[in-house]
């Protein structure tokens, strides 16, 4: 159903796009669908998102992949998203669906090398019943970052995150807190002859805190590359490795994907992610589809 909605949206906006000639864009709106399946759960979500940029961005950049224009032009913006979710857990009865929503802000200027960002996200799993007990969990994630452009298309950022998960149940569920810090580097390189490659590397450490249990620390390393043979099309591949005290989070994450622009304003992306857990029963795979339009 989600895939059909995304295709219908693309057909609609693709038919409308030629009626309006423009050289710049200031906003982007998207429709997304995600399907996740794990060893003990399945989850679907469908949602919308929107971004407003603080300055005009070129709709047809001369020497930059369309997907990287905001990064190269150094333009900040504000964004918001919301989604409906449905989660089924083995051994639990689903009583209600959940929801996600969030907002983000990024400050960046073409004439400045510093940039900052902040965001907040809420993830509600909905209500379920296990062994006659009603359960509802909700996670709130806050993030802040400060970084700098060390070259025209190269940046380094220091990210901070705080997450708190609370549970509502007559049986009593302890709160879970996760504090993290990460160093992120991003670079876009023009290849000899034609094409570009974008590389993102991230090294993170996070601490897991739960009442009545000792603190646990895990470390994570992620590398992602996107190859753009043309300005309109990109192929993505990534690898993440997690090690530390919490065995349920240890493992390897693999990511592949693609993004294409049918017109300078209309795009479609498809990503596949798989987590191979070192602990039995914690692996999962996820498919993400998103259609978007710039205007």
Domain extent listing, the chain:
2-294
pLDDT band at 248 (very low <50, low <70, confident <90, very high): confident
Q: What's the whole-model pTM score?
A: 0.88
* pLDDT given at position 258: 98
Higher pLDDT, 282 or 58: 58
> What's the chain's average pLDDT?
90
- What is the sign of the dihedral through the CA atoms of 167, 136, 274 and 66? negative
Q: How many CA atoms lie within 13 A of 7 on its CB side?
A: 4
Q: Which helix (H) or strand (E) holds 266?
A: strand 266-277
Single out the residue of 205, 258, 271 nearest to residue 227, CA to CA. Answer: 258
pLDDT greater than 70 at residue 12: no
pLDDT per residue as tens digits for the range 173-232: 788 999 999 999 999 999 998 899 999 999 999 999 988 889 999 999 999 999 999 999
Single out the residue of 168, 86, 83, 175 nearest to residue 122, CA to CA. Answer: 83
* pLDDT given at position 171: 63
pLDDT band at 10 (very low <50, low <70, confident <90, very high): very low
Architecture of domain 2-294: Beta Barrel (2.40)
Q: What mean pLDDT do residues 259-266 have?
A: 97
pLDDT per residue as tens digits for the range 26-47: 999 999 999 999 988 999 999 9
């Amino acid at each position: 159903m989600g895939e059909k909605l995304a295709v219908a949206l693309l057909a609609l906006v693709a038919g409308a796009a030629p009626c309006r000639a423009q050289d710049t864009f200031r906003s982007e709106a998207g429709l997304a669908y995600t399907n996740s399946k794990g060893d003990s759960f399945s989850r679907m979500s469908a949602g919308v998102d929107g971004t407003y940029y603080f300055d005009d961005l070129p709709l047809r950049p001369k020497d930059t992949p369309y997907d990287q224009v905001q990064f190269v032009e150094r333009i900040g913006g504000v964004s918001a998203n919301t989604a409906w979710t449905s989660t089924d857990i083995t051994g639990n009865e689903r009583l209600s669906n959940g929801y996600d929503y969030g907002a983000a802000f990024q400050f960046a200027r073409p004439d400045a090398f510093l940039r900052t960002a902040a965001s907040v996200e809420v993830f509600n799993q909905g209500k379920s019943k296990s062994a006659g007990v009603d359960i509802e969990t909700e996670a709130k994630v806050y993030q802040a970052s400060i970084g700098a452009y060390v070259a025209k298309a190269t940046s380094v950022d220091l990210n901070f995150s705080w997450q708190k998960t609370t549970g509502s149940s007559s049986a009593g569920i302890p709160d879970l807190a996760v504090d993290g810090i990460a160093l992120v580097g991003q670079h876009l390189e023009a290849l000899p002859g034609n094409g570009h490659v974008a590389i993102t590397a991230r090294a993170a450490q996070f601490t897991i805190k739960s009442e009545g249990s000792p603190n646990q620390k895990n470390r994570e390393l992620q590398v992602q590359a996107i190859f753009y043979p043309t300005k309109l099309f990109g192929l993505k591949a990534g690898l993440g490795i997690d090690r530390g005290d919490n065995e349920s989070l240890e493992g390897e994450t693999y990511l592949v994907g693609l993004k294409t622009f049918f017109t300078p304003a209309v795009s479609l992306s498809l990503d596949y992610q798989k987590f191979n857990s070192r602990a039995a029963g914690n692996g999962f795979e996820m498919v993400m589809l998103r259609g978007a339009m710039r205007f």
